[in-house]
Amino acid sequence: MCPPEHFGVLYEINPWMHQEVAVDVDRARDQWETLASTLGDAGAEVETMAPQPGLPDIVFTANAGIVNRDCFVPSRFRHPQRQGESPHYTAWFAEHGFRIAELPGSVSHEGAGDALPFRSVLLSGYRFRSDAAAHVALSELAGVPVRPVELADDRFYHLDLTFCPLDERRALVAPAAWDSYGRKVVEALVPEPLPLDADETAAFVANSVVVGTNIVMPACPARIGRQLEAWGFDVVVVDVSEFQKAGGACRCLTLALDVALP
Amino acid sequence: MASERVEVRGHIIDSLILAKVLDVILDAGADYRMVDVEIGRTSADPSRAVIEVQAPDEELLDRLLTELLVHGANRVAQADAATVATDRDGVLPEGFYSTTNLPTQVRIHGRWVDVENPEMDCAVVVRPDGRVRTEPMHRVRAGDPVVVGRDGVRVQALERPRGANPFEFMTSEVSSEKPKDLLVAEVADRIRRAKSMGAKVLVVPGPAVVHTGASPHLARLVRAGWVDVLFAGNGFATHDIESNVVGTSLGVPLTGETPPEGGHANHLRVINEVRRRGSIAAAVSEGWLTGGTMFECVQRAVPFVLGGSVRDDGPLPDVLPNVVEAADAMRAQLPGVGVALMLASTLHAIATGNLLPAGVETFCVDINQAVVTKLADRGSHQALGIVTDVGLFLRTLADHLAP
């Protein structure tokens, strides 16, 4: 994770961002610290990197790149406003003993925000931020098969706003955010999906972090909570509304380091 | 039509990317041809598909390729064509690329250039001025850069017309069981349409056209301006002239009377008289030849090529006895030809079929099903075979076009 010292909405690169809406930096810091400690309580070990002035979205470490075992594939950001974050992510991973594997310069891919593991494949969204053309290289570099899912709603511009793997069989899914082929791909992949409706998706419910049987969520409607608990998950809701002003929630603020695929 | 090859790689089956790419192509109003598909051995291995995207024009193709890029389908990297300069006149370098009659393009300095005159069984020469032409073996000159190998060469499959056409004219079909009147009317229509678009009509008549009494009908078509080029041999021209001057064809009266004695030599006497005058045109200008197809060709300045063969009597002075020269003379008349009508001819029809680019509408008429099948199968792209008596066919066609 990366603390929100310099977080704010300084530009608009997604439909949630409006520069005239001010971020309450103190509130953001409190929300971030609550998220970090909640994750710690759930059993996760949280490591942090240093924030940077002029890079407000560096808090969204999910987009740093793709991690698999000791390999880190840095992202190639679509927008210049976030491209400045890449050297900092790469430096952190290099310092922490990861092998850096670079994607070709011509493709965009925005990391774990757009590619999530489910069983032994990496489900990877494309269209708004990441390119389908990156998938072959990503697959080779990370050593994992990649299955593309085309994102169809520009409000849900990263896969992690529409998909949350829960365990080997289950996931939170927002099928309306994908095209028909993407829906079929996920249907074939996930034995027990829990679909979110339009309101639930817009409340960032899919952007949750799973630590073992604990699930840390930005919001949890009653029916979703009931099903998750029936499945044996412990649900904790953490308010991250300041970060939602920039179009991200719980999962966007984290990057899992202990991924090991297949 | 414009085309380009794209490649999709990865887990293209499981991810439905291949299905999606093909759907995107069709939804855009374009078409595709699967060039190659390699499926990974296990589910962990990636697969690869090469797809040739075919669009009606470059603009649509460009937009489509941009959209396909979004789904991960990239243009296939292609190499320029390799050329080797011949070291001798009339001898091609080893490994020369051998052409088909399909529209062909050659990649030079990264750009696809059309081959100007597609013809099957030739080599491709890249001229110093950048133009690219097919050349038959005997016409290459020492130093000509000839395309070798298959890199940087692509052919375009002709568009298959979509939609129902009751006679399916654009398939290679032999029609012995279809209503002839309707077929002839359709042929007449195609000829009218070709002429209205500025295309030329080529007719290749065999001697049976005269034997069946149909030469006057062909003459009618020439007189009315429906024939732009005529290819034939010594036989057709001789009997056409014989039928007008002596009233017989190979000695057989066309009026149905009993053949007179000595009639079998009529054609020799006719050939002899034309030889005496020096040419068919001279025979016309001297008033000795006053009717028939060759007469009308001379009167209307319709170019004709009479190719010689080893069986020829005489031959007529206009016949080109050197067959290589005759084929070159035929080649020279091909630019602009849009419709070819092969009438009861085997030798010259096949020779013509070998020279024509794919895309020329070809109609083959013969009483013999085997001949028609053989001709219609040549280029197989837009050929229609009609099994019928050529006399009846030509009379009906002339009634349609020159009533």
Domain boundaries along the sequence of chain A: 25-253
Consecutive H or E run containing B380: none
From the list A121, A132, A145, the residue facing B71 with the nearest CB is: A132
pLDDT at B170 over 50: no
pLDDT band at B299 (very low <50, low <70, confident <90, very high): very high
Residue range(s) in chain B whose domain bears CATH number 3.40.50.10690: 173-401
Provide the CATH topology of domain B82-155.
2.40.420
Chain A residue with minimal CA distance to B40?
A145
- Model confidence at B172, pLDDT cuts 50, 70, 90, reads very low
Query: pLDDT tier at B162 (50, 70, 90 boundaries)?
Result: very low
Indicate where chain B has its CATH 2.40.420.10 domain(s). 82-155
| Sign of the alpha-carbon dihedral angle for B245, B251, B254, B260 | positive
- Output B188 or B74, whichever has higher pLDDT: B188
Mean pLDDT of B35-54: 85
For residue A193, whether the previous peptide bond is cis, meaning omega lies within 30 degrees of 0, is no
Mean pLDDT, rounded, for B297-307: 98
pLDDT, chain B, mean: 88
Question: For residue range B59-72, what is the model confidence (pLDDT) as tens digits?
Answer: 898 889 888 988 88
Tens of pLDDT, residues B344-358: 998 899 899 999 998
Give pLDDT, residue B78: 74
Mutation target to probe the A interface, by most A beta carbons within 10 A, among B7, B13, B16, B43 is B16
Averaged pLDDT, B90-100: 94
pLDDT band at B178 (very low <50, low <70, confident <90, very high): low
Give yes or no for residue B125 having a pLDDT over 70. Answer: yes
CATH T-level fold of B173-401: Rossmann fold (3.40.50)
Residue A7 pLDDT: 96
Q: Where in chain B is CATH 3.30.70.2690?
A: 2-75
Residues B72, A132: C-beta atoms closer than 8 Å: yes
What's the DSSP call for residue B312? -
Write down the pLDDT at residue B382.
66
Cβ within 8 Å, pair A135-B71:
no
At residue B43 the predicted structure's pLDDT band, cuts being 50, 70 and 90, is low
Q: Which of residues 93-112 of A touch B (CB under 8 A)?
A: none
Q: Which residue of A lies nearest to B67 if distances are taken between CA atoms?
A: A127
At B184 the pLDDT is 92
Query: Which of A216-220, B45-49, B79-83, B285-289 comes out lowest in average pLDDT?
Result: B45-49
pLDDT along chain A (262 residues), means of 10: 96 94 95 97 97 96 95 95 96 96 90 94 93 88 89 96 97 96 94 96 97 96 97 97 97 95 80
Whether B70 and B95 have beta carbons less than 8 Å apart is answered as no
- Per-residue pLDDT at B189 exceeds 50: yes
- Cβ-defined contact of B69 to A133 (cutoff 8 Å): yes
Q: Chain A window 196-225: which residues touch B at a Cβ cutoff of 8 Å?
A: none
DSSP classification of residue A248:
-
Does residue B165 surpass a pLDDT of 60? Answer: no
Chain A neighbors of B72, CB-CB under 8 A: 126, 131-133, 135-136, 148
Statement: residue B394 has pLDDT above 80: yes
Whether the pLDDT of residue B177 is over 70: the answer is no
Q: Sort strands A71-74 and A99-100 into parallel, antiparallel or unpaired.
A: parallel
Higher pLDDT, A227 or B369: A227
From the list A126, A136, A181, the residue facing B16 with the nearest CB is: A181
| Pick from A78, A69, A71, A77: nearest CA to A94 | A71
Do the Cβ atoms of A221 and B60 come closer than 8 Å?
A: no
**Is A79 known to be catalytic?**
no
**What fold, for A25-253?**
L-arginine/glycine Amidinotransferase; Chain A (3.75.10)
Q: What pLDDT does residue B255 have?
A: 81
Average pLDDT, integer, range B247-265: 83
Cβ(B227)–Cβ(B203) under 8 Å? yes
pLDDT of residue B41: 81
Q: Per 3-state DSSP, what percentage of chain B is helix, strand, and coil (rounded to 5)?
A: 35, 25, 40
pLDDT band at B57; cut points 50, 70, 90: confident
A135 inside 8 A of chain B by CB = yes
How far apart (Å, rounded) are the C-alpha atoms in residues A226 and A235? 10
What is the predicted pLDDT for the residue at B157? Answer: 66
CATH superfamily of B2-75: LOR/SDH bifunctional enzyme, conserved domain (3.30.70.2690)
* A6 classed as catalytic: no
Give the pLDDT band of residue B111 (cuts 50, 70, 90).
confident
